[in-house]
A and B are shown apart, each in its own frame.
Chain A
Amino acid sequence: MTPRSIDRDEVRRLLAEEQAQLVEVLPAREFSEEHIVGAINIPLKEIDERAPRELDRERPVIVYCNDYQ
């Protein structure tokens, strides 16, 4: 399933109203340098393996990286 593209306002809404799980998919070093408050780090390479263990399927997931450039 293709992820749905969302903007900043929708991120805020999903966090506030649907207890969404925010996941930064960049490598750990970049995550430690800067990340959105409340996010967890699962680097893209590890996501298939770790997501089933670490994320709740019943809640929305929001993935992000640096920007779209």
Chain B
Amino acid sequence: MGFPRVNDYVAGKKDWGSYGLPHEGTKVPELLAGDVAHKDVPTCALADRLADVQKRVRAAGWDTCIVVNEQRVVLGRLGRKALDSDADASVEEAMTPGPSTVRPSIGVEDLLERMRARNLTSILVTTPDGRLVGLVLRAELE
């Protein structure tokens, strides 16, 4: 090119989209998982006391809590049953580790199809390196 400052974004547009960054075009769905994910889903840490988490999550009107580390990487999830379980347990004992996730760039129609096929009522949206974006609720897509 003969230009003095040329940079190559080697990971390219797939990487950009998978992190939920703005992209457009005729094949980009109008609404993406990252757009409809609840960013305010409650989170907790492995070392938190379950009793404290139960109280906080219920007060916020939720029935799930996402277990994350300091970088907001998802480690597990506390579902309704776990939140109703023995309050003396630790979050680590009560959580389901490694919940399934999708990327923010998946279109909501594809996502809904996938959730129906797997009978999921909600699904976590994370970046490719596992950081929490939010939670999508199937009922809101139907």
Contacts and interface: CB of A to CB of B under 8 A. Distances in A.
Interface in B21-77: 21-28
Interface string A14-35: 1000001000100000011111
Interface in A33-69: 33-37, 47-48, 51-52, 55, 57, 59-68
Task: Summarize A's interface: helix, strand, loop or mixed.
Answer: mixed
A66 B16 contact: no
Given A5-B8, A57-B4, A65-B12, A33 B27 contact: yes
Given A60-B5, A61-B7, A63-B8, A33 B25 contact: yes
A36 B21 contact: yes
A34 B7 contact: no
A52 B10 CA distance: 22
Contacts, number: 106
B7 A55 contact: no
B141 interface: no
B16 A55 contact: no
A3 B28 CA distance: 29
A10 B28 contact: no
B14 A67 contact: yes
B117 interface: no
22 contacts: A3-B8, A7-B10, A8-B16, A11-B16, A24-B13, A32-B26, A33-B28, A34-B25, A35-B23, A35-B25, A36-B13, A48-B2, A51-B2, A57-B4, A61-B7, A62-B8, A63-B9, A66-B13, A67-B10, A67-B11, A67-B15, A68-B12
Given A24-B13, A34-B24, A36-B16, 11 more contacts: A1-B3, A4-B7, A11-B16, A31-B25, A35-B13, A37-B24, A51-B3, A57-B3, A61-B6, A63-B8, A64-B16
